[in-house]
Structure 1
Amino acid sequence: MDHGTLEREIHIDAHPDTVFDVVSNPRHLREWWPDEAEYPAEPGGAGRIAFGDSWVGFTVVDAVPPKLFSFRWTHAPGETAAPGNSFLVVFELEPTATGTRLRMTETGFRERGWDEAKIAAEYADHVTGWDHFLPRLPAVAAEVGATR
């Protein structure tokens, strides 16, 4: 297995504007993914997210409502996010007849300078994580959409 790119695709019964808000706004992000999120949701916006007491860097790369949101994460807080110290996550949103198709890709496993065993372990951990967290997104989008 290559362990270079992790890809997932889901359909969400919500308008792309709503889905974009759910994947980009720190307030909504923490409803389905991290426990805490602190960052400006604009290109170059640097901050951090937390799972429990463990904080990692989070930097917005692109924010193109309602089509694209991308960020780098897992760099040490205070470091500038770059290909060698972080993962790149890209959310692409495409309108459908009944909502939004969300494509998520995560890259950066091979760029970290790790040996094959570490790459495989990190990749497997992220597969497990995204397979747990992404299915939570539609319910949050439904809630956010209902309040619009």
Structure 2
Amino acid sequence: MEYGSIEREIHVDASPEVVFEVVSRPEHISQWWTDDAHFETKPGAVGEFVWGDRVDVAPMTVVEAEPPRLFSFRWGYPGGEVDDTAPSLLVVFELTPSGTGTTIKLTETGFREMGWEAAKLEEQYGQHVNGWDTFVPRLGEYATRLASAS
């Protein structure tokens, strides 16, 4: 297995504008992925994703925010602190209008660049594959619910 990138693609019955909010705003991210999140939706903003009662806190940096088509961030910094000189993982959400909804393409890259030994690379990659397999469908369900409620 290559362990280079993870890609997931789904179609949701929500406009790109609604989906952009769902993937880029902390109050929405905490409804489908994390327990809490803190950041501004602008390039260069530093923030965090939180799970549990701050049991797991992952620093993140917004890379791109181009409503309603693109949102990306870096995370997975070694040592748990934002460091622009250190390797990190890049997550990109590309949003494309499709019929009356949106196609969401998620890509996560940077695994090989982290410098992990083979067993840790395989473990981390597997955890992220399993995570996105769980959370991308939740993202779709949440976006659809949000669109139908408005």
TM range (shorter): over 0.9
Share of identical aligned residues, percent? 48
Per-residue deviation, residues 24-73 of structure 1 (Å, max 9, x unmatched): 00000010001110011110110101122110111100000010000001
What is the CA distance between 1:79 and its match in structure 2?
2.3
Question: Please, which runs of 5 or more residues in structure 2 have no aligned partner?
Answer: none
Mapping 1:79-94, distance limit 5 Å: 79-82=82-85, 84=87, 86-94=88-96
What is the CA distance between 1:83 and its match in structure 2?
5.6
Residue number in structure 2 paired with 1:6: 6
Question: Please, which runs of 5 or more residues in structure 1 have no aligned partner?
Answer: none
Number of residue-to-residue matches in the alignment: 147
Mapping 1:1-148, distance limit 5 Å: 1-52=1-52, 53-75=55-77, 76-82=79-85, 84=87, 86-148=88-150
| Root-mean-square deviation (Å) | 1.4
Is the 1:60–1:72 contact (alpha carbons within 8 Å) kept by the matching residues of 2? Answer: yes
What is the CA distance between 1:147 and its match in structure 2?
4.5
Amino acid at match of 1:50: V
Is the 2:61–2:82 contact (alpha carbons within 8 Å) kept by the matching residues of 1? Answer: no
